[in-house]
Amino acid sequence: MAVSRRWVGLCSMVLVMMLCVGTIAKVLEEQIPETDLSYRNGGTEKLQSSSKSSMVAGSEVAEGSNEHAVDNPEEVASMVEMSIRNSTERRKLGYFSCGTGNPIDDCWRCDPNWQTNRKRLADCGIGFGRNAVGGRDGRFYVVTDAGDDDPVNPRPGTLRHAVIQEEPLWIVFKRDMVIQLKQELLMNSFKTIDGRGTNVHIANGACITIQFVTNVIIHGLHIHDCKPTGNAMVRSSPSHFGWRTMADGDAISIFGSSHVWVDHNSLSNCADGLVDAVMGSTAITISNNHFTHHNEVILLGHSDSYTRDKQMQVTIAYNHFGEGLIQRMPRCRHGYFHVVNNDYTHWEMYAIGGSADPTINSQGNRYAAPTNPFAKEVTKRVETSQSEWKGWNWRSEGDLLLNGAYFTPSGAGASASYARASSLGAKSSSMVGSITSGAGALGCRRGRQC
């Protein structure tokens, strides 16, 4: 009997030791930081040249297909709702929670080791673009060269060389930079551009084009003074370059693409739009950005006649629409648009506009109207008679309307009519000031909470 007791005791000790070892291994695994690795190239890379372009002119794409488009918006809305619920429950556990009320920022900003945990950002998305992983599953690429001398044969170390690669990449910057692009920066799929910890401006030239690709995250950049460019050859991948017609001069142009997240950027003063999403683009989140000094801010939908944009789903959340703005915050066609917890402090004509029967779900925003007595209305139905737009589903729920601002609703008021335009739970409009206080590119510094 004594032997049996000793044997049981010995087995118990072994079991306890195994559990302890497993726990320690798990903790160590979680604490090992990812290593920033520059994208190394053994000597000067010779990029393959081809006259066959991976891009096609606008007149040829109208009937084209987007392999990454979502065919069933209702299914996407259901999946997003379930994922958001699961993610919210995880965040209630308090891991790195700042308690700001901004679920994106509370997910990562309180971590003083954010620099070694950069890729955690990819797990913090919300809304219709929440599944955009960017370059999460790839290595780091450190941009060391602000130049853009040759859009067909970019030098290794430049931003253009980084974004055209076929493999997933998380792109960071070695130092502060002002990058003046000669031609559009054509993104390839599965890329993150992460400006945190540096002061990076893309300005005074061409800007960013996300065309026929998927899984792109743009974070922490200053993008301004973008100019029309084009009528030139531009590379889009290591094996393809092609002729580009004139670009409008958008800060960020999303064309036939999906799973795109534009977060914590400062955008202003471009030749055309600040963010345009057209030609069947969908699964997009535009969040935590600071928009200033611009006329036509955001366009969502190519044209009234382009019906493939009926599948479009876009979340616009936690942004600050600031001084010097005039209209289109956003301007929508077709599709489903969730405008939630944004701070509208300035507009000259209107804030939210649309045509071609878009569904617009405005929840928990703060709208402060301008002093002009003829510009108090938040909404504008563009070139459409009331007999037509009265059936469009536009609603305001829990919005704070200040200085005489008013929102003109239409269509159904029932929640079921907005299922495809619902992507996350809205916070109270009284929290908008704190939720959007960090909008725009952040001044993150190493070793500190961002």
User: Catalytic positions, please?
Assistant: 328
Q: Helix-strand-coil percent breakdown of the chain, rounded to 5?
A: 20, 30, 50
- Torsions phi, psi of 16, nearest 5? -60, -45
3-state secondary structure of 319: coil
Instruction: Determine how β-strand 240-244 pairs with β-strand 232-237.
Output: antiparallel
Q: What angle do CA 402, 407, 408 make, to 5 degrees?
A: 155
Tell me the torsion sign for CA atoms 105, 109, 110, 114.
Answer: positive
**193 Cβ contact partners less than 8 Å away, ≥ 6 residues apart:** 159, 163, 171, 217, 218, 219, 221
> 348: closest CA among 320, 366, 329?
329
> 221: closest CA among 188, 189, 185, 256?
185
Structural tokens at position 133:
């992983």
Q: How far is CA 23 from CA 16, 87, 91, 95, 120, in A?
A: 11, 24, 22, 18, 22
CB-based burial label for 297 (10 Å; 0-12, 13-18, 19+) = buried
> 313: closest CA among 254, 395, 272, 265?
254
